[in-house]
Amino acid sequence: MDYLLGLINGLVGNPQVARLVFLAAVALSATLAVVTFGILLIGLQSPLHRRLALIKRGRDGAAAGQRPVSNLQLMLEQVGRHLGTGEERKASATRQLLTHAGYRSASAVQVYWAVRLLLPLLMLALAVIAMPMLPKLSLNLVLLVVVSAAALGWLVPAIVVERRKDARIGRLRAAFPDALDLMVVCVESGLALPQAIERVADEMAVSQSELAEELALVNAEIRAGIPSAQALKHLADRTGLDDLHGLVSLLSQSIRFGTSVADTLRIYSDEFRDRRTQAAEERAAKIGTKLVFPLIFCLWPSFFLVAIGPAVIGVLRAFGMQ
Asked if 156 and 164 touch (Cβ cutoff 8 Å), the reply is no
End-to-end CA distance of the chain: 58
**Residue 195 burial (CB < 10 Å; 0-12/13-18/19+)?**
middle
What is Dmax (Cα atoms) for the chain? 92
> In this structure, how many other beta carbons lie within 10 angstroms of the beta carbon of residue 15?
11
Q: Rounded to whole angstroms, what are the CA distances from 197 to 151, 181, 203, 204, 245?
A: 45, 11, 10, 11, 17
Q: Rounded to whole angstroms, what are the CA distances from 43 to 12, 68, 69?
A: 42, 15, 12
Cα 21-26-30 angle, rounded to 5 deg = 150
Asked if 201 and 216 touch (Cβ cutoff 8 Å), the reply is yes
**52 — pLDDT class (breaks 50, 70, 90):** low
How far apart are the C-alpha atoms of 97 and 165, rounded to whole Å? 7
Domain with CATH 1.20.81 in the chain: 168-285
What is the pLDDT, as a whole number, of residue 36?
65
Three-state DSSP class for residue 207: coil
26 Cα distance to chain centroid: 35
How far apart are the C-alpha atoms of 165 and 150, rounded to whole Å? 24
Each residue of 240-251: pLDDT tens digit? 887 787 778 887
What is the pLDDT, as a whole number, of residue 37?
66
Each residue of 73-107: pLDDT tens digit? 555 555 555 555 455 555 678 888 888 888 887 77
How far apart are the C-alpha atoms of 44 and 303, rounded to whole Å? 63
Asked if 168 and 210 touch (Cβ cutoff 8 Å), the reply is yes
What is the pLDDT, as a whole number, of residue 293?
84
Query: Which parts of 13-87 fold into alpha helices (H)?
Result: 15-45, 47-57, 71-83
Helix-then-strand count for the chain, H and E: 15, 0
Each residue of 274-304: pLDDT tens digit? 887 888 899 888 888 888 888 888 887 888 8
Q: Does residue 163 have a pLDDT over 90? A: yes
**Average pLDDT over the chain, rounded to an integer:** 76
**5 — pLDDT class (breaks 50, 70, 90):** low
Which stretches does DSSP call E strand in 47-149? none
How far apart are the C-alpha atoms of 268 and 118, rounded to whole Å? 46
Phi, psi for residue 300 in degrees, rounded to 5: -65, -40
Residue 320 φ/ψ region, left for φ over 0, alpha for ψ in the -120 to 50 degree band, beta for the rest: left
Fold of the domain spanning 168-285 = Receptor-associated Protein (1.20.81)
What is the pLDDT, as a whole number, of residue 75?
58
**162 — pLDDT class (breaks 50, 70, 90):** very high
How far apart are the C-alpha atoms of 50 and 54, rounded to whole Å? 6
